[in-house]
Structure 1
C-alpha cells in the first residue's frame, strides 16, 4: 500500500465513523421507537396493498373491498398522533376512500406512503453505516497487524544486514554438526539392533520432554508391539516380515495376518522414525532455547546412546556460555538467510526506506483508529 493509499485508508475510516455518527443522530432525533413504529406500520400497509390489490379492484370481490378498507382505516386510526410521517398514511387512506378502486389507486397509495418509507429507512441507513464502519475498522486493524508483521520482518532483515559476516561461525557450527552426526548414527544403530518394544519405550518416554519429543506411534501398533513376541524384533525386521508371504511369515510369528495388518498400516510411521526430533537446526535457535532444549536432549539421548553422544549434548547446553553465542548466531542467520537481492537492497538503503514507510503508515492507521474510538 502506498503512502497515498494508506492515507485514503485512514481517511475512509474517519469518513465511515462520521457517517455512522450522522446516521445515529438522525435516528436519535426522530426517536428510535417511533421510527420502528413507522417501519412496522409501513410494512403492514404495504402488505395490505399487496394482498388485496387483485381482489379489491374494479368490480371484483366486494367483500374483499370492504374488508381491505376497514383494515386500512383501522391501521391508520391506531397510529400515534405525533408519529413521524403520519400524514403519509392519512393521505394514502384518504385516497383509498373511494366507491371503486383500480390498480392505479393502489400504485398511488404506495407513492403517498413513500415519505413513511423514507423515515423508516433511517433505521436501515444507520445499520448500513454501522456495518460499513465495522468493516472499515476491521480492515484497518487487519492492515495494522500486517504492518506489524512487515515491520518485524524488515527490522530483522536490517539487523541481519548489520551482522559481522566474517565472524567465526564455525565455533557454533562445529559443535552442532558434531552432535547431529553423533546422535543420528546412535539412533540408526539403536533402531537397527534394539527391539521395537524397547525403541517404543524410548519414544514414549520422550513425551515428558516437549523440546525433544518423538511423534508417538499409532495406538494399535504400540499395543501389538507391547503384547506379542514380534515386538521383541527390531523395526527393520518387522518391516521385512510384513513383505513376506503368509506361508513364509508363519514360520516366524503365530499370527501372520495380525503382523501384516499392524505393521503395514504403521509402515509410514516406522519408516520415518528417525533422529530428526533430536537434532539441532542450523542456524541454531536462540541461546535460551538451546539451553532448555539441550537439557531435554540429554535426558532422552541418555536412554539409548553411548556416553560420548550424551557428552555432545551436554556440550551444546554449555555452548551459549562459552562463546559469543548471539553475535555468532546473527552471523549464521545472515549468511543463511540473506540472498543477493536482499543484500543489494540493504546496501542501497531500500530496506531502511521500506521500514520507514511501513512505520509511517502504521502510525497513520493507529492515529485514525484512536480518533474514531476504535
Structure 2
C-alpha cells in the first residue's frame, strides 16, 4: 500500500471515529456547549483585569450580570451544565480576585472537554482534505512518471544503429549556412528592408520571428537614418547625444526608437530560420522547410535554398521514419536510460507505477 493510500485510509478512519464520538453526544448539544463555553471564556478574559480587586465597580457588576445571564439561559438538560453553574458560583462573590477567575476556568474544564470532541472532528476532516489533496498531487506525479516510462519504452524500440547522419548532416549544413547568410544580409541591407523582412516572417507560424515594434518601424520608415543598416543604427544609438547630433537630424528620436529596442534588434540573427535537431515527424519537418524556402530565398543564395530543399526531400524518403525515430532516441536516451531499458527495469518500474496509480484511483473513487 502506497504512503498516499495509507494516509487516506488513516484519515478516513479518524473522521469516522470522530463523527461517531460527536453523534454519541449529539451534535446540536455539543455545538450549544461550545457556544456557551466560548461566551463564558470571552467574558472571563474580557473582565479579569477590570472586575477584580478594587477595580471598576461598574465593570464588576456588568461582568457578574452578563456571566449569570449566559449560564441561566442554558438548556436545563445541556450536557455539562453543572460545569457552567460551578463557574458561576466561583465568580459570584462580593469581591473578585484573579484566583476566582482561575477557579472558574478550572471548573469549566469538563465543558471544554466536550468542545474538544467537536474540535477533533474538525481536525480529522482537515487532515482528510489534506490527504485527498496530497493523493491527487501524487496521482498527477504518477501520470507524469508513467508517461515518461512509456516514452522510454517507445524509444527502446528505435533502431539505434540507423545511419542518422544521412538526416543530420544536411540539416546541420543548412543551419550553419542560413546563420552565416543572414549575418551578411543583416550587414548589407537597410534597417527598413530588414524590418520589412521581419514583418513578413512574423506571419509564418512555424518561423519564430516576432513582428517588429510599431514605433521602431515608424522611425526607420520616416527618418533618413532608416537607410542605415541595423548594426550601424545600434552603433549610433550608443553615441552620446552631443556626438549623435553630428550624424542624424533628431538624436532624441533615434535614441527613443532604437536604443530601447536593442534586445529585439540583437535577436534578428537568423536563428529563427534554423531547423531544430532532432527534427519532427516527416510532415512537420516538410512544412517547416516549405515555410522557410520563400523567406530564405530573400536573404540567402541559391546554394542555401538548395540545401533546404534537400532536407525537405528527405521527408519523402521511405527511410525517414526510421532515421527520425533513431535520432529522437539517441538525443533523449543517455547511457543510464539505455542500460535501464536493456535490463528491463523500465518495464518493471512502469508496472509498479501503474499498480500504484490504480490503487490510488480506487482509494479516491476516481476510476
User: Structure 2 residue aligned with 1:145, among 140, 151, 156?
Assistant: 140
Asked if the contact 1:11/1:368 (under 8 Å) is kept, the reply is no
Q: How many angstroms apart in 1 are the aligned matches of 2:287 and 2:299?
A: 20
Aligned pairs (5 A) from 1:1-374:
7-27=2-22, 30=25, 32-57=27-52, 63-243=58-238, 249-250=244-245, 252-301=247-296, 304-306=299-301, 309-310=304-305, 312-313=307-308, 316-317=311-312, 319-370=314-365
- How far apart are residue 144 of structure 1 and its match? 2.0
Q: Which moved more, 1:341-350 or 1:8-17?
A: 341-350
Task: Report the TM-score, using the length of structure 1 for normalisation.
Answer: 0.83
Alpha carbons of structure 1 residues 187 and 92: separation in structure 2 relative to 1, 3 Å? same
Question: Partner residue of 1:3?
Answer: none
- How far apart are residue 212 of structure 1 and its match? 0.6
Q: Which moved more, 1:192-201 or 1:212-221?
A: 212-221
- How far apart are residue 229 of structure 1 and its match? 1.6
Q: How many angstroms apart in 1 are the aligned matches of 2:190 and 2:126?
A: 64
Q: How many angstroms apart in 2 are the aligned matches of 1:161 and 1:340?
A: 12
**3-state SS of paired residue (1:165):** coil
- How far apart are residue 67 of structure 1 and its match? 3.1
Asked if the contact 1:203/1:213 (under 8 Å) is kept, the reply is no
Alpha carbons of structure 1 residues 35 and 227: separation in structure 2 relative to 1, 3 Å? farther
Asked if the contact 1:283/1:329 (under 8 Å) is kept, the reply is yes
**3-state SS of paired residue (1:273):** coil
Alpha carbons of structure 1 residues 291 and 35: separation in structure 2 relative to 1, 3 Å? farther
Asked if the contact 2:48/2:101 (under 8 Å) is kept, the reply is yes
Q: How many angstroms apart in 1 are the aligned matches of 2:89 and 2:17?
A: 35
Asked if the contact 2:18/2:117 (under 8 Å) is kept, the reply is yes
Corresponding pairs, count: 367
Q: How many angstroms apart in 2 are the aligned matches of 1:280 and 1:338?
A: 21
- How far apart are residue 297 of structure 1 and its match? 2.8
Q: How many angstroms apart in 2 are the aligned matches of 1:161 and 1:264?
A: 51
- How far apart are residue 61 of structure 1 and its match? 5.4
Task: Report the TM-score, using the length of structure 2 for normalisation.
Answer: 0.85
- How far apart are residue 78 of structure 1 and its match? 1.7
Which runs of 5 or more residues in structure 1 are unaligned? Answer: 1-5
Deviations 1:162-213 (A, max 9, x none): 3212212233224423432443344233322222112112212233223213
Asked if the contact 1:175/1:315 (under 8 Å) is kept, the reply is yes
**3-state SS of paired residue (2:268):** coil
Alpha carbons of structure 1 residues 251 and 45: separation in structure 2 relative to 1, 3 Å? closer
Which runs of 5 or more residues in structure 2 are unaligned? Answer: none
